[in-house]
Structure 1
Amino acid sequence: MSIRDDIIASRIPARAFIAMGMFWGVFGAYVPWIKAQAGLNDADFGLALLFGAAGAVGAMWIAPKVDRGLGAYAMVGGAVAMVAAFILPGLANSWAFFALAMLLAMGTSGLLDVIMNARLSGIEVEAGRSLMNLNHALYSFSYGVAAIGAGLMREAGIPPIVCFALIGLGTLIVTPGLRHEDKISNSDEAGTRHGFGLSKPLLICAGLVTLIGFMAEQATEGWSALHLERSLGVGAAEGAMGPAILGFTMGIGRLTGQVLTRFVSEGRALQGAGALAALGAVLAAWAPTPALVYMGFAVIGFGVSITAPMTLVWIAKTLPAGQRSLAISRVVLVGYTGFFIGPPLMGFLAQAFGLPMAFTILGALLALIAIVLVPALRFFARGGQPVQT
């Protein structure tokens, strides 16, 4: 099957992936403006994002019920809610306003994220082929395009509310096309929903790998522009290139992830990805020129791009078929926690030690994937079905 066939097969949820990527791309590019507009220091900004992260985790917890309740209109409802919520960060002029805005923006984003990934998984089963890497790549590419466009608009003095409104209008236009009937039955989940026989240490290690990967992705998206502008004194457009480069390299990494597994095992790929991303974080932290910092962000993006999908593939190959769905859902829930705690954690570290040291600590966490977590996964995987890792 060609990429064109895969795009056609997943065209409905793909619109949601693209829309979400564009909203977060605009946010990443406008972080310095929004932060200054609300009068926040690094710790205040990080605390507000942590407040928003709590909303995201709560929304993800109830997302399956919302998905079932709204049925075919679940992605439509999630997209409309996300559009309304993302208007607010562009208007924030105080910590309380910004914290509330991020609670709603991250909450609706987390809700739609779970729903669109669940619907995509159903389409994968129906189509009989993998579509996850492609759609996550679409998210990354749309994030990069939006970050560049938003950076140019910020350079021209256009306020964030205008950019968010334009993305919102475009999303609302395609929203009717997000209606999707889930044809995959959930009847086979009944026997495994209690999690009997699942290896908790295995799931914890897998969850930590995805958590660190998502945490590094979101921390870099949220703080790369600030690091470039504050540490190296570049302009708004040059600063926006940080999150844009991350998005593009993550898209390329995700497209190549499927090919990579034909030549190396999941374990070796994850160790290489963790080590590569760690080196990229250290380079981005201490490089003396913008070009080298851009290179560091590119290396981070390419490395972290495969951590989540490669871990999920490994879990699926290790566990019996009856346990895979529940195991993957638990790993994803732990992983997406990192997606939302990354930016606030960077805020606290930046306030305490400065952004270069914050990126260095992020690199140390990424190195744990290669040094500690993958060997632990190999050890605990021996209790499941034999798999070469």
Structure 2
Amino acid sequence: MVSATWGLFWGAWGGLIPAVQQRAGVSTGTLGLLLSLVAVGAIPAMVLTGRLARGRESVALAVSTGLFGVAIAALATASAPVPLGACLIAVGMTSGALDVCLSMAIARAERTTGARLFQPVHAAFPVMVVVAAPLAGLARQSGVPLLAILLVVAVLVAAAGVPAALGLTSGASPDTPAAGSGRRLPLAGIGLGALGACMLIMENAVEQWSAVLLENHQGALPVVASSAPAVYYLALSLGRLAAHAMPGMRLRTILGLGAAGGGVGIVLAALASHPAAGLGAFALTGFAFGPVIPALLSHAATRDGDGAAVATATTVSYAGFVGSPLVVAGLSTVLPLPSAVACLGVLAAPLLIAAFAGSFPDTPGGNPTQTEQEHHRKATGS
């Protein structure tokens, strides 16, 4: 539920940005700078939250979700550049905190119950993004005020935190601080997060440039071009659900298929000469990449008992998403946009190397074995 409402806001937000720009009275350049403040708020909040939420994941998830709703409500009232910037920082901080808390809560549930949760929970986010964006546009077109739309979303987001507060979201046992938490650098999380960052650099590029590629370089009509991000996100969800439906799939297999399918897919999508081929390649990319991040986080959940590795992996991965525009911008200074995006396919190489050379346990999807679960219960007393 938290993941779905989180996606509800970000999907709706994409459809509301033109109205936000109009109300704040800012230029496109100024709006771009203001939107970058989301990342400015998110990164430090994710680092801090990863330390504070250990051992109290359900409470932290409930609090971060509620604060995210409050930040959205404040954003609904911002009608000038300075208040808008402050609200976007708050949205970034609370969204980043929610991201970390959600991953840590799912990780605790997987460790203590043995259930496979990362893939289906993460599948809800992209589906809601796809659904919410056109609904927000339709609401605007029907004359619903921007304030009303954002306040409704804020209420729905805040309400999603209630089950977490009652301990129902994850189905995990009562929170118990793990022994030795905070005493070591979560190097495993950094390594897994770096793999995730490679993938999210490519994912952000698809989100930002897929429509431009189809319309300006493949001759697609605007309505077809604008569907490219939706096709990618729907395929992303289907890939996660497919991986969840195959509990015997190994982490090595997920990484290998993700690297091969996603890496080849993004190159084909960028260099396609026809819109249909481009859309098909973006779908392949999303389907292949979909299970990767959830599988990496699930694997991180088995590395320790306090969530440090999961929090670190989530934060490092997000840094790749934030840095993606700079990577594409740098490549675009020396290459045409299609070639610049196609070059990102090389970032699939670390995933492929990890699939063949990584020291991953031979367990399905990175999930803990029964022995690992029992060891965790004895170590934490849960």
Per the shorter chain, which TM-score range?
A: 0.7 to 0.9
Q: Which residue of 2 aligns with 1:178?
A: 161
Q: Which residue of 1 aligns with 2:310?
A: 328
Q: Find the aligned partners of 1:254 and 1:276 in 2 and give their Cα distance.
A: 14
Q: Find the aligned partners of 1:184 and 1:271 in 2 and give their Cα distance.
A: 34
Q: Which residue of 2 aligns with 1:10?
A: none
Structure 1 residue 276 displacement after superposition: 0.8
Do the aligned partners of residues 72 and 307 (structure 1) sit closer, same or farther apart at CA in structure 2, a change above 3 Å counting? closer
- TM-score for the superposition, normalised by structure 2: 0.75
Q: Find the aligned partners of 1:360 and 1:71 in 2 and give their Cα distance.
A: 38
Q: Which residue of 2 aligns with 1:377?
A: 358
The answer as to whether partners of 1:47 and 1:344 remain within 8 angstroms in 2 is no
Structure 1 residue 285 displacement after superposition: 0.9
Structure 1 residue 303 displacement after superposition: 1.6
Structure 1 residue 252 displacement after superposition: 0.7
Where does the alignment leave 5 or more consecutive residues of structure 2 unmatched?
367-382
The answer as to whether partners of 1:29 and 1:243 remain within 8 angstroms in 2 is no
Is 1:220 the counterpart of 2:206 in the alignment? yes
Q: Which amino acid aligns with 1:241?
A: S
Superposed, 1:159-238 pairs within 5 Å as 166=149, 168-173=151-156, 175-179=158-162, 180-182=165-167, 184=173, 187-195=176-184, 200=187, 202-232=188-218, 234-238=220-224
Superposed, 1:337-348 pairs within 5 Å as 337-348=319-330
- TM-score for the superposition, normalised by structure 1: 0.74
Name the SS of the counterpart of 2:152 in structure 1.
Answer: helix
Do the aligned partners of residues 135 and 118 (structure 1) sit closer, same or farther apart at CA in structure 2, a change above 3 Å counting? same
> Which of these residues, 332, 335, 346, is aligned with residue 364 of structure 1?
346
Q: Find the aligned partners of 1:100 and 1:229 in 2 and give their Cα distance.
A: 34
Structure 1 residue 311 displacement after superposition: 2.0
The answer as to whether partners of 2:262 and 2:286 remain within 8 angstroms in 1 is yes
How many residue pairs get aligned? The number is 353
Q: Whose helix fraction is larger, Structure 1's or Structure 2's?
A: 1
Structure 1 residue 21 displacement after superposition: 1.2
Superposed, 1:68-217 pairs within 5 Å as 72-85=62-75, 102-124=88-110, 128-149=114-135, 166=149, 168-173=151-156, 175-179=158-162, 180-182=165-167, 184=173, 187-195=176-184, 200=187, 202-217=188-203
Q: Find the aligned partners of 2:273 and 2:11 in 1 and give their Cα distance.
A: 25
- Identify the range of structure 1 (24-33 vs 284-293) with the bigger mean alpha-carbon deviation: 24-33
Superposed, 1:46-85 pairs within 5 Å as 51-64=37-50, 72-85=62-75
Q: Which residue of 1 aligns with 2:290?
A: 305
Where does the alignment leave 5 or more consecutive residues of structure 1 unmatched?
1-13
Do the aligned partners of residues 170 and 34 (structure 1) sit closer, same or farther apart at CA in structure 2, a change above 3 Å counting? closer
Q: Find the aligned partners of 1:283 and 1:164 in 2 and give their Cα distance.
A: 41
CA RMSD of aligned residues (A): 3.9
- Identify the range of structure 1 (230-239 vs 132-141) with the bigger mean alpha-carbon deviation: 230-239
